[in-house]
Structure formats: structure tokens, C-alpha cells
Amino acid sequence: MTGVRGVRGASVEIPTADGVADAYLARPDDGVAHPAVLLYMDAFGLRPPLEKMADRLAAAGYTVLVPNVFYRHGRAPVTELPEFIDPARRPEIFQQLRPIMDSLTPEPAMRDAGAYLDWLAACPHAIGAPIGIAGYCMGARLALRTAGAYPERVAAVAGFHGGGLATDAPDSPHLVAERVTAELYFGHADQDPGMTAEQIGLLERTLVAAGVRHRGEVYAGALHGYTQVDTSSYDARADARHRAALLDLLGRALRPV
């Protein structure tokens, strides 16, 4: 059991083409299969506060899988993290994480995504398809890419304080828009140098041109990482807004049991 009443959490392992990804699974403890949500972590990775986020989502009627997407570098946490993360005071944390993040290029990331989706499809606690995806920070990029790589298996994607979603790079995440059939929601932080107003505009224009059902909102005053309670960027008001938006999207797309 978890700290959330009626929710069961467990560590699980997911076979992939490149090894085994450790992950956390949260689900209602009622013996019923529920709609599946793939929760993509932020750069700080799979850790207790992220597990609690999954627990709260499970309490709303979903089976939630949170994989350690950095599994090639070891089990979570792949770097030592303090209980409270303040990158301004601990710049070495990002110095350690940056090469790990950079090593997760789109091709292996989408191979992994297929493994996560296959695992959920076989999970007796999940209604395996279509699924919803929630992504945070770098996880928002993974979420959008997954919607483009597996359009028939993804019904909804929500990305929060995602950086680099629309750039001039030849493999920018926004370029998958023409393949996306899911409904999308993005909660941008207006104090996020990794997702400028120009990039938000490019993402919006691209989604409109591709005919993708979507909504993008800018959270005024919010910093990059505003949902992460164990970081100096946390914003309780923006976090509550994100939870409401996520549940609204998932409720329309997946209809929780």
C-alpha cells in the first residue's frame, strides 16, 4: 500500500530492447482494470515525490506507470539527490545529469516507449489501449514524441513545464505533429528559458496547421519545474492548476473506471 488510501504501489521491471527498466506502478486497490497512464519523469528522475504524484493520479481511477527512463545508467536514482533540490545552490546536480539526458536520443527513447506501452497492454491491472501520457520537464518532450510514434495507442498527452518542445533542430519534438491523433494539453511556465514565447508560438502554429486537438496555457509567474514539490521551483497554485487540467483531459479521453 501507499500513503494514499485505496492505492497500491509497487516497484516493477520492464524488459526493453536494451535491458531492463526499473519503474513504479500505482493502481487502485480494487481488483479492477483501470485506464492506463504513462507518466514520464522530469530530469531529476524516479523518486518518492514522483511516486506520490502517481499515487494521487491512481486515486482518481488510473493505473499509472512511471519508468526510470535513465535505466541504461543504473537504477533510480541514477545520481545522488538531496531531499530538497535547489539547482542554484547545487549546480553539480545538473552537471551530472546533462550528459545522461543528452544520451537519451529520440531513437532509443521511442524504442523504450514501445516497451512501456507493451508492458501496460499486458498488465492485468490496466486497460492497455488507448492510454494517456503525462510528461514533466524533459518528460513532456518524451510524451509528445510517443504520441507521434504510436498514434494508435495514445489518446491523450499532457505536458507540463516542458523545455525544447519546438526548436529549429531537425529532430525537434513538434515536428511529429502531423502523426499525432491524441488530444494534447500543455501547461507552460512563463518563467521558463527553455520554452520561450517564440517556441510556444511555433508549437501552437504547428499543432493548428496539423489539425491536432490541443490547448496550450501559460502559467503566469511559474518557474520551470513548478509541479515538483521537492524543488526550489515548486509553485503550489500552479501545481493545483496542473492537476485539474490533467484530470480534465484524462477524464474526457479515457473515462476512468
Integer Cα distance of 134 and 126 in angstroms: 16
Integer Cα distance of 237 and 239 in angstroms: 5
| DSSP string covering 28-67 | ESSS--EEEEEEE--TT-S-HHHHHHHHHHHHTT-EEEEE
In the residue annotation, 168 being an active-site residue is answered as: no
Catalytic residue among 34, 161, 224, 242: 224
Integer Cα distance of 160 and 194 in angstroms: 12
What distance lies between CA 202 and its chain's CA centroid? 21
Catalytic residue among 192, 230, 235, 239: 192
Beta carbons within 10 angstroms of residue 127's beta carbon: 20
In the residue annotation, 224 being an active-site residue is answered as: yes
Integer Cα distance of 235 and 107 in angstroms: 33
Q: How far is CA 92 from CA 82, 87, 163, 256, in A?
A: 12, 8, 20, 41
Integer Cα distance of 131 and 60 in angstroms: 15
Catalytic residue among 34, 125, 137, 214: 137
- State residue 92 phi and psi, 5-degree precision: -65, -20
Question: Do the strands 7-16 and 63-67 form a parallel or antiparallel pair, or are they unpaired?
Answer: unpaired
Integer Cα distance of 62 and 75 in angstroms: 25
| Catalytic (active-site) positions | 137, 192, 224
